Amino acid sequence: MVVSKHAIKVNNLFTTTEDERRAVAENFDMLITGDWNTQFLAELKTVNPSLLIIIYRNVCFIDIKVTEEIDVARANGWILKDSTGEEVYQINYPDLRLADVGNPGYQDMLAEICYLYVQDINTDGIMGDSMALRPRVDIWSAWPINPRTGAEYTDGEWNAGIRSMVAKIKTFTGKLLIGNGYGMICGCNQWMVGYWNSKNYADPVINLLDGVLVEGFIRFSGTDWRTPDVWLSDIEYFRTLSAKGKTDLAWVITSGLPAGATVEQVAMFGFASYLLAKKGNNTYFVVRGYESQLLPVSKADVGVPVGDYFLRPDAPVYQRNYTNVKVLVNPTDTSYTIQVEGATDPIVMEAHTGTILDIPTPALPWWNLLIKIVGPIGVGLYLLGRPTRRG
């Protein structure tokens, strides 16, 4: 039983060969792709009927190159402006203009577009990208003005607009809606982009969504590793999403590697962290940019978890046991040598690494589960009151 599920985001299927598309369908459980690739969806579903195909959509911005959308939005006043009357745009992508997410007309247009996306029988839902839970002035050109008040959009007004928009998309499409955006792309307890510092804004939206793409799981692109406490906040965020019954996607970014690190190291560190965090059966590991290095490893049959993750007593290394393997993660800057039960030789855990040891762990006996459910006193009463077998 392979416990992990795999997702991949492919922007352009037109540049892939038939064999490459077959490999996507055969190796992945979920594909995130653009609506411009719809001609290939039936082909993919024929290879793998259970493949979930999720259509990408930027929900807070409209690309000025998509004239049929931007013309309607401008004509109706749905593109937000700053205090000088200039249209607000995303700094890194200036062609993306910020939409008035709180305007019912824009919400209706967006929901109708998403409805058309999922009309294809091969399409299973929408991934709403750039779903900022609060105004994002660090990467937007200016603070947007709310046309209904004439003042700067407040956090509360913006969040209410996002919630209304999410509800409409779900009502119109009737399919999965997965969100990705400011306030929910990571745990990261010291950054406003992370869940724990935006929880009061994130929870009302996440509760409406069917799932979340955690695009910053355990790291962003850049040069630094996260500290162990920030790394752990990501693990707990992922588990919180699972506890809410959401579809969770852990996407580990491998661009902009830390000094001396390799793609293989970062990918394995991320996958092992995912196995620590995994809770429930609806979690996916996003394999993008390191398919050849990691996919064979991540497809291995690790079995099922035997208990929760724990901090080892001999080193600041985290461990989680599965029925077929043991998973270890060292989130620190220091290398440690540890002796793992079942291993013949000591294991060296280099800084910021994850590993999967081919050491099985027996599943817990049924009475351990009973103790967890009813407690030791309840188990004792059950055993005392159980009828004895007479010869």
Residue 246 has pLDDT above 70, yes or no: yes
Q: What is the pLDDT of residues 145-164, one digit of tens each?
A: 999 999 999 999 999 999 99
* Residues pairing with 322 in the sheet: 305
Cβ-based burial of 377 (10 A; exposed 0-12, middle 13-18, buried ≥19)? exposed
In a domain, 266, yes or no: yes
In a domain, 381, yes or no: no
- The CATH code of the domain that includes 227 is 3.20.20.70
pTM confidence score: 0.89
What is the domain range of residue 21?
A: 5-301
* Residues pairing with 5 in the sheet: 284
What is residue 389's predicted lDDT score, i.e. its pLDDT? 39
| CA 87 to chain CA centroid, nearest Å | 31
What is residue 388's predicted lDDT score, i.e. its pLDDT? 43
* Residues pairing with 311 in the sheet: 318
What is residue 348's predicted lDDT score, i.e. its pLDDT? 98
Taking CA atoms, 46 is separated from 30, 122, 123, 270, 281, in Å, by: 14, 10, 13, 31, 24
Residue 352 has pLDDT above 90, yes or no: yes
In sequence order, which residues have a C-beta less than 8 Å from that of residue 223 and are 6 or more positions away? Answer: 256, 257, 258, 259
Mean pLDDT of 336-362: 96
In sequence order, which residues have a C-beta less than 8 Å from that of residue 28 and are 6 or more positions away? Answer: 6, 7, 8, 51, 287
What is residue 291's predicted lDDT score, i.e. its pLDDT? 81
Contact 5, 259 (CB under 8 A): no
* Crossing angle between the packed helical segments 291-298 and 263-277, to the nearest 10 degrees: 30
What is residue 294's predicted lDDT score, i.e. its pLDDT? 81
In a domain, 376, yes or no: no
What are the φ/ψ torsions at residue 334 (nearest 5 degrees)? Answer: -120, 145
In a domain, 42, yes or no: yes
Q: For residue 184, which amino acid is it? A: M
What is residue 1's predicted lDDT score, i.e. its pLDDT? 53
Residue 382 has pLDDT above 70, yes or no: no
Q: What is the pLDDT of residues 45-68, one digit of tens each?
A: 999 999 999 999 999 999 999 999
Q: Which tokens sit at 331?
A: 């989130």
In a domain, 56, yes or no: yes
Q: For the chain, what percent of residues have pLDDT higher than 90? A: 80
In a domain, 113, yes or no: yes
In a domain, 65, yes or no: yes
Residue 173 has pLDDT above 70, yes or no: yes
In sequence order, which residues have a C-beta less than 8 Å from that of residue 329 and are 6 or more positions away? Answer: 269, 272, 273, 276, 317, 318, 319, 353, 354
What is residue 292's predicted lDDT score, i.e. its pLDDT? 77
* CA-closest candidate to residue 224, choices 271, 198, 191: 191
User: What is the count of structural domains for the chain?
Assistant: 1
What is residue 376's predicted lDDT score, i.e. its pLDDT? 57
In a domain, 370, yes or no: no
Out of 151-155, 215-219, 369-373, which region has the weakest mean confidence (pLDDT)? 369-373
Residue with tokens 């995303």: 90
Q: Round to whole Å and give the CA distance between 327 and 100.
A: 46
